[in-house]
Chains A and B, each alone.
Chain A
Amino acid sequence: MTNHYIPQLSTIKEVIKHTDLEYTFRMTFDGEAKPGQFFEVSIPKYGEAPISVSGIGEGTVDFTIRRVGKVTNEIFENYVGDKFFIRGPYGNGFEIDNYKGKELVVVAGGTGLSPVRGVVDYFAHHTGEAVSTTVIAGFKSPKDVLFKDDFKFWNETINVIQTVDSAPEGYEGPVGMVTKYIPDLKFENIENTAFICVGPPVMIKFTVMEILKLGVPEKNIWVSNERKMCCGLGKCGHCKIGSTYICLDGPVFNYVDGKELID
């Protein structure tokens, strides 16, 4: 019988510093993983934290981690060659096939871009597979922008709106919440759209409200929910909402089901 609680040791291959608080740790990992899935990343003594997959490479998996808690603070004390324990991947993740042939819009707030980065990147590299791809990514301020190198490439192949909530005087890029840009989106066929919305709960709520105002059917919207996934295995109960276990049934939900999830 497999003991799913035993983590494997994984070595840091690369650390990509986005901001003072957000780094991507490229870790050794052999196996399949999908964008939107998560791992339990741990350091002995500090405990485990559920972290989304922000990238998948040959023998590696990326975790973009924001320094906000006990475990993540400790993670930031580590550099290339150091090791963490990881176990996973858990959860359903995003199904790329759901978005093929669609007018795809990805709306992400802050580190919410991590779980969906793989989806955006896929369509940025395979532009023919979606009718169009638009990413609206919001960050607190210009110094909080993540994945700057990705944005450079995405800007060339897909529509990118990279906005900040507020900016110092003289900033030339878009300023304002992600919701500000939704009413201006134009579509050939509203029925053939697909929206993905990832970020803090409040941002998801208002973004979905704006999307629905466009006349987008609920079934065309996907959201990803963050909860305290303590075990990742459907046992510990912390992530349960109603009859749904986010770790098993999610974290990605079609809005038709996602709207029923009330804490």
Chain B
Amino acid sequence: MGYQLSKTKADGIFHQWAKKYDIFAPMLMEGEGCFSDTDIVRYGKVEKLDDIEWNKKSDYSFKEVLLAINETLFYFTEDQTTVPKGPEKDILIFLRSCDLHAVKRLDEIYLKNGFEDFYYARVRERAKFILMGCENTCQSGFCVSMGTNKSDNYDAYIKVTEDAVYMDVKCSELNEGVCAEAMTTEEIKVADVAPDYVTENIEKVTLPKNLSNASFTKEIWQEYGARCIKCGRCNFVCPTCTCFTMQDIFYKDNEKVGERRRVWASCQIDGYTEMAGGHGFRKSQGDRMRFKVMHKIYDYEKRFGYPMCVGCGRCDDVCPEYISYSNCVNRLAKEESES
């Protein structure tokens, strides 16, 4: 159901939602960037519409709402294990189309690849998604190339302009409040609302179609590998990277009590494949670059039927060595067409 609301009424609706839901959205965090005096846009809990950063793309994706950077799986107390409580409230997540497509990738790994993941599932089943439109393309994204520029599986769409707020609410639970208010006030009108989406990006990416194990020996991997400083930021900003490492910690003041956690992991960092005794695989950065890129555009698709990458471009934005994943993919496609 589409609506046009006054800003005041929209704030009121948001306030109502905030009572029932924990609402997570991109926020401008001033001075909290990686370098001094820089800002960062990251997901945080918002209380009002004005808390949301509507214009800048978030530097980190929504994924930390569904998959905490480090998550306690259970507490140890001698022979006992205790699982921490799940979320107390339902969750609303504001996100753009590319990221909403990434939710499907997270679901694929955490709900379908083998057993359903207890911790992911209990957050995921309480989450609803609110689409933020894209009137203009971002600098580095290539969602059109990846077919992720458009989404219709949102629970609600919200657009904020100078004079009004537009909503398209599909979820009946979210719609209830809006609909009831619309009956009583002129400030909420039923309207046709369709999400904004981009139809052309600055970056255009062509996927190579004939990758295989034979692609492992390409020089391009070592070339990028030579520049990589194995910081792993590309993995951490990626909305589709799902790897983690198990970790036990114990409390200093009581050595019998501790917890087992999982923490985000990066396939670009030393130790990712290292087994007890020190034997590891993919020791060169070039091989790790190849592993990552092939996973995003080839290996995942081979297993699940569609590419993993959603074209958000965050990995290109964050790389301190200016390694461009999108450029790498384009070069692979170009090499293919020339051979």
Contact = CB atoms under 8 A, between A and B. Distances in A.
Interface of A: 1-7, 9, 42, 44-49, 66, 68-72, 83, 200-201, 226-228, 230-231, 233-238, 240, 242-243, 245, 247-248, 260, 262-263
Contacts of A2: 115, 118
Contact of B113 (A69, A71, A235): A235
B184 interface: no
Contacts of B294: 242
A6 B213 CA distance: 37
Contacts of B115: 2, 4, 233-234
A235 B112 CA distance: 10
Interface in B195-224: 213, 216
Top 4 closest A-B pairs, CB basis?
A69-B276, A234-B114, A237-B243, A68-B277
B262 interface: yes
A257 to B, nearest CB: 12
A105 to B, nearest CB: 25
A238 B275 CA distance: 10
Contacts of A242: 213, 294, 299, 302
A235 B110 contact: yes
Interface stretch (B8-16, B75-83, B167-175, B186-194): B75-83
A70 B272 contact: no
B293 interface: no
Given A2-B118, A69-B277, A226-B275, A235 B244 contact: yes
A48 B246 CA distance: 8
Contact of B247 (A47, A66, A201, A247): A47
Interface centre among B117, B272, B300 (most CB of A within 10 A): B117
Contacts of A9: 79
Contacts of A226: 275
Contacts of B270: none
Contact of A228 (B81, B121, B275, B287): B275
B270 to A, nearest CB: 13
A interface: dominant SS:
loop
A6 B74 contact: yes
Nearest to A45: B250
Interface centre among B79, B121, B281, B295 (most CB of A within 10 A): B281
Given A47-B247, A236-B243, A70 B276 contact: yes
Contact of A236 (B74, B244, B291): B244
Nearest to A47: B248
B83 A230 contact: no
B310 to A, nearest CB: 18
A45 B243 contact: no
B128 interface: no
B214 to A, nearest CB: 10
B330 interface: no
Interface in B276-320: 276-277, 279, 281-282, 287, 291, 294-295, 299-300, 302-303
Contacts of B267: 237
Contacts of B234: none
Nearest to B282: A263
Contacts of A200: 279
B272 A238 contact: yes
B interface: dominant SS:
mixed
Given A44-B248, A47-B260, A238-B245, 18 more contacts: A1-B116, A2-B115, A5-B119, A45-B76, A45-B249, A45-B255, A47-B247, A69-B276, A228-B272, A230-B265, A231-B262, A235-B109, A235-B244, A236-B262, A237-B244, A238-B265, A243-B303, A245-B113
A70 B277 CA distance: 9
Nearest to B250: A45
B273 interface: yes
B232 interface: no
Interface in B73-100: 73-74, 76, 79, 81, 83
Contacts of B274: 228
A243 B303 CA distance: 6
Contact of A4 (B118, B213, B262, B272): B118
Nearest to B299: A243
Nearest to B275: A228
17 contacts: A3-B119, A5-B74, A9-B79, A42-B248, A226-B275, A230-B244, A230-B265, A231-B246, A235-B109, A236-B243, A237-B243, A238-B265, A238-B273, A240-B299, A242-B299, A245-B113, A260-B213
B273 A263 contact: yes
B248 A245 contact: no
A45 B115 CA distance: 26
A236 B281 contact: no
Interface string B116-133: 111101100000000000
Given A9-B79, A237-B265, A243-B300, A227 B118 contact: no
Contacts of B275: 69, 226-228
Contacts of B247: 47
A38 to B, nearest CB: 12
Given A3-B83, A44-B260, A226-B275, A235 B245 contact: no
A210 B163 CA distance: 77
A201 B282 CA distance: 13
